[in-house]
Structure 1
Amino acid sequence: MKLRLSLAALAGLFLLTACPDKKNVETADTPVEAPLPKAPVFNADSAYAFTAKQVAFGPRVPNTKAHQACGDYLVARFKGWGLKVKEQPFQAMTFDGTMLRARNIIAQYQPQAARRVAIFAHWDTRPWADADPNKKNAPLDGASDGASGVAVALEMARILAAQPDSLAPAVGVDFILFDAEDWGHDSGTQQNLKNQLEGAGDSWCLGSQYWAKNLVPAGYKAEYGVLFDMVGARGAKFSREELSRNSARQALDKIWNTAARLGYTDYFLFQDSPGITDDHVYTNQAGIPTVDIIDHLPNNPNQYFPNYHHATTDNMDVIDRKTLKAVGQTVTQVLYLN
């Protein structure tokens, strides 16, 4: 997954920026922030259960029965809540020459709304735990890396679908789950394997690459997008990633400022981080200004990702309801700011 850091970002790695000043004493000149509009309560227990359900299928590796079954489950969940669902089947060649049978899943809430926001996540798991110090060829659960982002999207869809028209947000929301994101070549852990796609394209994010070239719905446009990637682990830290800052600054500021107002600054850090290759690269190329919310180690210049990343320890033991709540409640609230 997404291991390319931009050279420009590395030159100024982890630049700490200051939060806006918060004065203890208001003066006549101090503007008073309007209260946040009422938004549905994001249920962390439900999101945790959605994470566990995906993990229970087994590793969601394309071309496997577990992958097929989980995809069918996700489609059924969205349809059961009354969302308009489309599947986008595709085939893609991986860096090791494997032909994948994959599908992106698109579920639309309030499809009639002209103004739209996209929520992105990937629902597949990496075939091997190549970053694991002891079990490099073992399968992995992908509890945070994959399942948690999908779970937050599912819970947002569930609670939005339950709202009466009078309490619906002023935007339609498209939940777009990408497949075949995580079968990429890692030059750090797979030096012994030839990348057959080198020079021919990116070996990561195959589903979002396909979607960006074949938009579903056709001609799709959204005011902004939010990518959930690794958003369920205990103690997760989310910084302002470089491409997100450059391409979707307005949405990024809205998310981080809302998180601060909700009391989630332990998770959403007012700190900049290097750019990485993730699905948001391709959604931005498709014209959707997209913010990547992704767990990483904010002050470690030698290691970007947490130890569970692409390891067998990425299981339900790392998942924390508090992290799911922080992400889900923040982005749900942001929908109501439009």
Structure 2
Amino acid sequence: MILSFKFLTTALVVGLVGLTSCKSKQEPDAVKPDAELAQVQFNADSAYQYIVDQCAFGARVPNSEAHDRCADYIVNVFKRFGLTVNEQKTTVKGWDGKMLQCNNITASYKPELRERIVICSHWDSRPWADADPDSSKHREPVMAANDGASGVAVMMELARQIQQLNPSVGVDFVCFDSEDYGAPYWGPQTNDENDWCLGSQYWANNLPKDYKPRYGILLDMVGGDDAQFKFEYYSMQYAQNVVAKVWSAAQSVGADNYFLQQDGTAVTDDHIPMNSIANIPTIDIISDNGNGFSRTWHTTIDTPQNISRETLKAVGQTLIQTLFEEK
């Protein structure tokens, strides 16, 4: 994912946070102080271990052995928790002309239910640490503990607990491949940025016509020790009510020190094809520290040592509460 350098207006943000004295009929309450809380507790230690497990394969760069072995691991974990797993294998073309073996993995809870929620993350690693402070490392791969593995780990822990949570809707956990293969600074630069998010573009263009989930939640860099989450621009453009729903859940569980009621930047990420191609209103929960992404973004220090269990807990418990409140 990359920044697109658009910003929300203050008026739009004030409209979202919904101070009840000036909330319009179209704007859902952002805070529900009397909300019933889910009893299921997200286990951050478990989620952290899933990150370690993914990184143990090495950088999950497309066309690598580590990539293939991690795909098998992801499939097996979701199957172990009783979910129905589908692998969407295809070939996509990278910015450099290389043909990439792409595997979008979907794990479905109660696939027979028509009413569904999508929770998703990319699982691949960027081949180049082109934002590393040490320029000699720019052509080394990224371990992607935060930028990749953290979102998958949160989904795995949700899947482990989903039978106990027993939400009233079906849930599809989607692991997108080939998200982070966008051109580095030494490659060709384009305005459309279509060299990113290759797996989700393919997924969005090849959905069954009758697949109409209520909404989607994309997780990206949700485990960093410097994480904070703001109103991402395209999330507000396409799915403002979903932003309000999730931020409300965050406040209910006491995670509002992570889910800030502040305007954020615009990000080219997997939620773009989900919104613009698949027409699934989808938000992006993505780390935004005010000066860009996490300090480990696209660097060689994106390792488990820089993952925060507290951040994982905040995000995971927020999602448990969000699913719990679905009727």
Q: TM-score, normalised by structure 1?
A: 0.87
Rg bigger for which structure?
A: 1
Q: Secondary structure at the match of 2:105?
A: strand
Alignment-derived partner of residue 315 in structure 2: 327
Q: Secondary structure at the match of 2:127?
A: coil
The farther-off stretch of 134-143 and 224-233 is: 134-143
Report whether the alignment pairs 1:52 with 2:64.
no
Report whether the alignment pairs 1:210 with 2:202.
yes
Report whether the alignment pairs 1:318 with 2:306.
yes
Structure 2 residue corresponding to 1:247, chosen from 234, 238, 248: 238
Structure 1 residue corresponding to 2:156, chosen from 135, 154, 157: 154
Distance 1:14 1:121, change over 3 A: farther
Letter in 2 for 1:193: G
- Return 5+ residue gaps in structure 2 as ranges: 21-30
Counterparts of 1:15 and 1:248, CA distance in 2:
13
Query: 1:335: Cα distance to partner?
Result: 0.5
Counterparts of 2:182 and 2:41, CA distance in 1:
36
Conserved in 2, the CA contact under 8 Å of 1:132 and 1:310? Answer: yes
Conserved in 1, the CA contact under 8 Å of 2:228 and 2:287? Answer: yes
Alignment-derived partner of residue 293 in structure 2: 305
Alignment-derived partner of residue 193 in structure 1: 187
Distance 1:253 1:15, change over 3 A: closer
Conserved in 2, the CA contact under 8 Å of 1:14 and 1:273? Answer: no
Counterparts of 1:149 and 1:241, CA distance in 2:
17
Alignment-derived partner of residue 238 in structure 1: 229
Alignment-derived partner of residue 176 in structure 2: 178
Alignment-derived partner of residue 287 in structure 1: 279
Letter in 1 for 2:175: L
Alignment-derived partner of residue 113 in structure 2: 113
Alignment-derived partner of residue 133 in structure 1: 133
Distance 1:32 1:120, change over 3 A: closer
Deviations 1:273-292 (A, max 9, x none): 12211000011120111010
Q: How does 1:10-159 map to 2 (within 5 A)?
A: 12=9, 17=14, 33-134=33-134, 135-159=137-161
Counterparts of 2:210 and 2:71, CA distance in 1:
24
Distance 1:246 1:236, change over 3 A: same
Counterparts of 2:267 and 2:32, CA distance in 1:
37
Query: 1:185: Cα distance to partner?
Result: 1.6
The alignment of Structure 1 onto Structure 2 pairs a total of residues equal to: 313
Query: 1:264: Cα distance to partner?
Result: 1.1
Deviations 1:165-202 (A, max 9, x none): xx51111100011000000024xxx1x3235xx47870
- Return 5+ residue gaps in structure 1 as ranges: 23-30
Q: Secondary structure at the match of 2:149?
A: helix
Alignment-derived partner of residue 25 in structure 2: none
Runs (4+) of structure 1 moved beyond 3 Å? 12-22, 31-35, 198-201
Query: 1:4: Cα distance to partner?
Result: 2.3
Query: 1:258: Cα distance to partner?
Result: 1.4
Q: Secondary structure at the match of 1:222?
A: coil
Alignment-derived partner of residue 25 in structure 1: none
Letter in 1 for 2:148: G
Q: Secondary structure at the match of 2:106?
A: strand
Conserved in 1, the CA contact under 8 Å of 2:33 and 2:252? Answer: no
Alignment-derived partner of residue 258 in structure 2: 267
Counterparts of 1:318 and 1:275, CA distance in 2:
25
Distance 1:13 1:202, change over 3 A: farther
Alignment-derived partner of residue 4 in structure 2: 4
Deviations 1:224-262 (A, max 9, x none): 110000000113100011111121111110111111121
Query: 1:21: Cα distance to partner?
Result: 6.1
